[in-house]
Structure 1
Amino acid sequence: MSAIEALYIFDEHNTPLLEHTYTGRPPPGSTVLPLYLAHTSPRPSLIYLPSTNPPTLLYSIIQDQLLFLAPCSRDTEPLQVLEFLHRVADVLEDFLGAPLLASKIESNYDVVAQLLGEMVDGGVIANTEPNALRDVVEAPSSMRNLLGAVGLPGTTPSSLNPSTTPFSLSSRGPSLSISGRTSPTPAQTISPVPWRRANVRHTSNELYVDIIETLSVTIAPSGRPLAALANGSIAFTAKVSGIPDLLLHIACPGGINNTLSLPVFHPCVRLNRWRDRPGELSFVPPDGRFVLAGYEVDLLGPRALDAFSTDAKAAAAPKLNIPATAAIATSLGPTGVDFEVRLTLNARFAGKPKKGSQSGSGIGSGSAGSSSISRQAGGLSAVGMGIGGAGFGVSSSSSKGTSSSPTIEELVVHVPLPAGVKNVADLRVVKGGGDAGYAPGDRSIEWRLSSREIAALMALDRGAGQGVLATLRGTVVGDVDEGNTEGGPVRLGGEQRWEYDEGPASPASSLAPAEPNSNSKRGFGDEGIAAADARRVKANKVLMPSCVTVSFSVKGWLASGVRVESLSIDAKRSKGIGAGVQPYKGVKYVCVSRKGVEGRC
């Protein structure tokens, strides 16, 4: 069993904020921090420290520029320790608020100490669920006052019903007698569900499903995809009184079993239901927002290897239908110092609603004893628009950012540059608009297009459906190395050509400027100039960018095609929900690329 020996937290300046020892005699934070910093960045999450006594494994994560370290001197399960560190960061964010700052930890040491003591008992991980921790740890005073102002419980259940009336132990049972009435014992205030707080009450009952996918695509110079993955997360927000029992049904065009791979679930999900009926998630949710599930999708599918095939059927390799791609052409111009970035936008994401799409109120698909969220022919709303009660509907307006009209948000193209590049001259957007910026010394070029500029570009397509092309050109400037024509960066222009005269010595210098078109043994005619330019093109290749990446976000669309079919509440298995309560339900789809679409050259 894994043992958590200690936890050290440092701020962004590597100043110690907190040291908490659970068991044993681990090396102090002042000892492990220099050993951690001795490794070059990026540092791995697991570092072996043989110089400590005893030799120690050091686990680390960085959250909001705060460094979390956990030393272990015995055999442990690495993933369990790393997951514990992530849980600590999430719990602190839940109690202290996001983002997690050093000042928040310093001003709430009492709360942080209680949390760390409840999460680990004698080195063994005990309780890491934020909802369960709220039953035993009081929230900070400022947070407690804020929650109390809006009518939400911000402290332990024992203080939810304060009373100044004297009380005494009742001789008839294990309850407390207050003015002739009985109040529940502490055992009765503990939730039967470990990940959910007890006595949850909400004035408005709401359920939200947010599916977020992150793209990771690599495209070869020929335009063929080398790899295309989408990592998805299903974020769920439950604001329902009592203990609801929910059933979420998701689907995708290729079938859940054939599309989703490596699924991971929150502990609240009943795994047997998923195994028997893939696509159905049955669970009792924690209170508030949490990550219900995660998954990975190979967008190339089973034909991924066809992209590398050389037979005639290789033309049938799968093609990606993603919002934007970029390609880069290098070594342009007579000396090979120019490059061009070509950005292609998919016309499908012009923000225009599809023909035949419907809008209006949702049609409920619930049965007796349950209420549900249903998918219409026109698609689910991508901005969380819903109708409380038995059904869910798409937005009544054809606004942008819905599943019927997905829209590309602000788009950024990054062009990484080699270390030898000192400047980029004549950087200009030839077609497409946007702002391209570069400062001498930067390691990349950044080209930004706003949503308005993207919409203007999409309008140029005029319904052809072929997509639009935007281009960016520039000239790189490298180090100056006189006389270097065989390799390495060279001067870009203004050089004087000289030739050596092998004739008899004369009073004049034997070195004289050559005529521009003179033909001699050394050869600086047309063929000589062409050969020199070819050598310069070869030498300047070290200054050329090797790839280009695209960052964007799209509302109302997922690369995998995953969608929510229904969300229902099982009234028979739920507890504490009032009769006839129909929660408001909403869903949102977002696809994000953080430098995830990469075009190589």
Structure 2
Amino acid sequence: MSTIEALYIFDEHNTPLLDHTYNGRPPASSTLLPLYLAHPSPRPSLIYLPNTNPSTLLYSIIQDQLLFLCPCSTDTEPLQILEFLHRTADALEDFLGAPLLASKIEANYDVVAQLLNEMVDGGVISCTEPNALRDVVEAPNFIKSLLGGVGLPSSTPSSLTAGNSGGSFSLARGASPRLGPSGGPGGASQAASTVPWRRANVRHTSNEMYVDIVETLNVTLSPSGRPLAAIANGSIAFTAKVSGVPDLNLQLGCPGGPANTIALPVFHPCVRLNRWKDRPGDLSFVPPDGRFLLAAYEVDLLGPAALEAFSTTTTLKSSPKLNIPATVSVQTALGPSASDFEVKLHLNPRFAGSKSSSALSNSGPSSRGGGGRGLSGAGFASSATQGTTAAPTVESMTVHIPLPASVKNVTDLRVSRSAGEAGYAPGDRGIEWRLTSRELNALMANDRGSGTSLDATLRGTVVGADADDLHDAENGGAGALSTNTYDYDDDAAGSYQSSSSSNHPRGSKPTSKPPNVETERKKMKVLMPSCATVSFSVKGWLPSGIKVESLGVDMKRSSGLGSGVTPYKGVKYLGVSKKGVECRC
């Protein structure tokens, strides 16, 4: 069993914020920090320190520029320790607010101490669920803190070591905790929840449930445009604001069936795994209160027959097709001097959205916040908002063209058809070509319904980093060094002095050979971009085609909701590519 010995938190300037010791006598934070910083960046999450006594495994994460360190001197499970650090950062964000800042920790040392003591008991991880922690630790409140500061009663617990962990807590920078009367939220007056991940006595005036499915696209294209790999990583975020203890059923559907499409699924502990194994795509669970990550998965967009399609007998037309908003291709070494390149963006008119609400009259379910479709208590309803499953809309698009370090400048950048703006500054490592949603809709408006892709091109000329130096050397400028070579072979006829004087008279320069066209093209080839990536976000569209078929409440298993109460339900879809569509050349 993994044992948490200590937790150290440092701010963005590597100044210690707090030291919390759970078990044993781990090395001090002042000893571990220099050893951690001695490793070159990027530093791994797990570092072995043999110079400490005893030898120590140092686990680390960085959250909002705050450094979390956890030393372990025994053999532990690495993923468990790293997961504990991530959950600690998430719990602090949940109680103190995001982003997690050093000033928030300094102003709420008492809350942080209670959280750390409740999450670990004697070095053993005990409770990391935010809902369960809220039953025993009260979130900071400005009014209550003000009352406690002037001596009036407040509900802030007085003990910095609440719980039974037996650990020690050290403040940094001379801060003093706020003290108040005993009897916090974890007292005997409050009943404990029967569900470990859900708060007790949950009450909401308006009962609502929201499903947000986000998929991140990663596609690699060959120079010919053939897809080599296409993976979509999805996450299902669920927001439950329902009174009592609801028992929910969420049904997922997709072309080909969830059993054949969804791979490597991971679930929140509230999900009943037996139900998913018997009926893939059916999620039955009692949700925590508030927003949480319900599930995550992976989808291979090329399908299981992708390897057969990559055989030498198949052609480009028979290769797997991808229905994504945009792809890109790169052509290099263009022009008479082979110094030009061209990046062609292929847009899919299907993602232009709709012009009017009449086009969405038969689109099916409505969208929540313009991101997919919504579920009402009485069923599905239509909506006129853009960004639905029937008419997905691209919010923005950016093409990034990385350049080699030897490129000094890019001149004559021009975009066809006024398709966005391309920017480059000398010294940058890449070109950014940005297109707004309005520009994308204007480009695809004329080709709406044609079903063919629309192309926009970016062309530019690269200049090598040594172009000016070579020019000065050819003109004999100041600081230019001679590149002539001399033969010092004694066996050659005559001495090197006579040989040099006979071949090149005094005061004359050797004649240079005319430049070789093929050699110049090879030099420019090194300066050409090797790939291009596309970033975008699309409302109302998922690359995998997964959708929510139904979302309901099992009234027989639920309790505390009330008879006749039908929660409002909403679903939102979002497809994202963060430099995920890459074409190599």
Shorter-chain TM-score: what band?
A: 0.7 to 0.9
Q: TM-score, normalised by structure 1?
A: 0.81
| Separation of aligned partners in 1, 2:393 and 2:526 | 38
- Alpha-carbon distance between aligned partners in 2 of 1:112 and 1:328, rounded to the nearest angstrom: 52
- CA contact 2:325–2:347 (8 Å) conserved in 1: yes
Partner of 1:225: 227
Q: Over the residues paired in the alignment, what is the CA RMSD in angstroms?
A: 3.2
Matched, 1:274 2:238: no
Q: What is the alpha-carbon distance in structure 2 between the residues aligned to residue 135 and residue 330 of structure 1?
A: 62
User: What amino acid sits opposite 1:460 in the alignment?
Assistant: N
* 2:567 match: 583
Establish whether residue 297 from structure 1 lines up as the match of residue 299 from structure 2.
yes
Q: Answer yes or no: is the 8 Å Cα contact 2:4–2:22 preserved in 1.
A: yes
CA distance in 2, matches of 1:143, 1:43: 42
Contact 2:365 2:374 in 1 (8 A): no
Q: Is the 8 A contact 1:388 1:582 kept in 2?
A: no
1:465-499 C-alpha deviation (Å, 9 max, x unpaired): 2121111122222222689xxxxxx6699989x9x
| Alignment partner, residue 372 of structure 1 | none
Q: Which runs of 5+ in 2 are unaligned?
A: 147-153, 158-185, 477-481, 485-499
Task: Assess, with a 3 A threshold, how the Cα gap between structure 1 residues 354 and 252 changes in structure 2: closer, same or farther.
Answer: farther
Partner of 1:455: 441
Residues 220 and 581 of structure 2 are in contact (CA less than 8 Å); yes or no, is this contact kept in structure 1? yes
Distance, in Å, in 2 between the alignment partners of 1:451 and 1:275 is 41
Match of 1:88 in 2: 88
Distance change (3 Å), C-alpha of 1:377 and 1:384: closer
1:130-529 aligned at under 5 Å gives the runs 130-142=130-142, 186=188, 189-312=191-314, 315-352=317-354, 359=361, 383=371, 386=374, 388-395=376-383, 397=384, 399-480=385-466, 509-511=507-509, 524=514, 529=515
Distance 1:340 1:59 in 2: 46
Q: CA deviation at 1:552?
A: 0.6
Q: Secondary structure at the match of 1:134?
A: helix
Q: Kindly tell me: are residues 241 and 492 of structure 1, through their superposed partners in 2, closer, same or farther at Cα, counting changes over 3 Å? A: farther
Deviation at 1:187, TM superposition (A): 7.2
Structure 1 residue 66: deviation in Å? 1.7
| Alpha-carbon distance between aligned partners in 1 of 2:519 and 2:454, rounded to the nearest angstrom | 36
Please give the alpha-carbon distance, in whole angstroms, between the structure 2 residues aligned to 1:41 and 1:274: 42
Pair 1:474–1:482, CA change in 2 (3 A): closer
Residue aligning to 2:11: 11
Task: Report the alpha carbon displacement of residue 413 of structure 1 after superposing the two structures with TM.
Answer: 1.1
Cα deviation, 1:213-236, whole Å, max 9, x if unaligned, reads 001111111111111100000000
1 CA distance for matches of 2:331 and 2:474?
25
SS at 1:201 equivalent? coil
Q: Secondary structure at the match of 2:456?
A: strand
Q: In structure 2, how many angstroms separate the alpha carbons of the residues matched to 1:393 and 1:155? A: 46
- Superposition deviation, residue 95 in structure 1: 0.6
What is the CA-CA distance between 1:412 and the residue it aligns to?
A: 1.1
Could you tell me which amino acid in structure 2 is paired with residue 383 of structure 1? G
Contact map agreement 1:236 1:291 (CA 8 A) in 2: yes
Task: State the Cα deviation string for residues 423-456 of structure 1 (Å, max 9, x = none).
Answer: 2222222344212112222222111111111111
Secondary structure at 1:440 match in 2: coil
The one-letter code sitting in structure 2 at the alignment partner of 1:68 is F
Give the C-alpha shift of residue 139 in structure 1.
Answer: 0.8
Q: How many residues are aligned here?
A: 530
Label 1:493 to 1:250 Cα distance change in 2 as closer, same or farther (>3 A).
farther
Instruction: Supply the AA of the counterpart residue of 2:426.
Output: P
Q: Indicate the residue corresponding to 1:555 in structure 2.
A: 539
Partner SS, residue 582 of structure 2: strand
Matched residue type, 1:392: F
Letter in 2 for 1:438: Y
Deviation readout 1:397-419 (Å, 9 max, x if unpaired): 1x321111101111111111222
What's the CA shift for 1:130? Answer: 0.6
Are the equivalent residues in 2 in contact too, given 1:266–1:293 (CA < 8 A)? yes
In structure 2, what is the equivalent of residue 45 of structure 1?
A: 45
Partner amino acid for 2:354?
K
| Residues 76-118 of structure 1 deviation map (CA, whole Å, 9 limit, x = unaligned) | 1111111111111111111111111121111111111110110
Paired residues of 1:59 and 1:81 also in contact (CA < 8 A): yes
> Cα gap change, 1:462/1:393 in structure 2, threshold over 3 Å: closer, same or farther?
closer
1:570 alignment partner AA: D
Distance 1:560 1:387, change over 3 A: closer
Structure 2 distance, partners of 1:227, 1:311, is 19
Deviation of residue 143 (structure 1)?
8.5
Deviations 1:488-536 (A, max 9, x none): xx6699989x9x9x9988988533888xxxxxxx5x4xxxx5xx22212
Q: Is the 8 A contact 1:427 1:474 kept in 2?
A: yes
User: Aligned-pair distance for 1:306?
Assistant: 3.3
Change (3 A) 1:348 1:462: closer
Counterpart contact for 2:119–2:128, Cα < 8 Å: yes
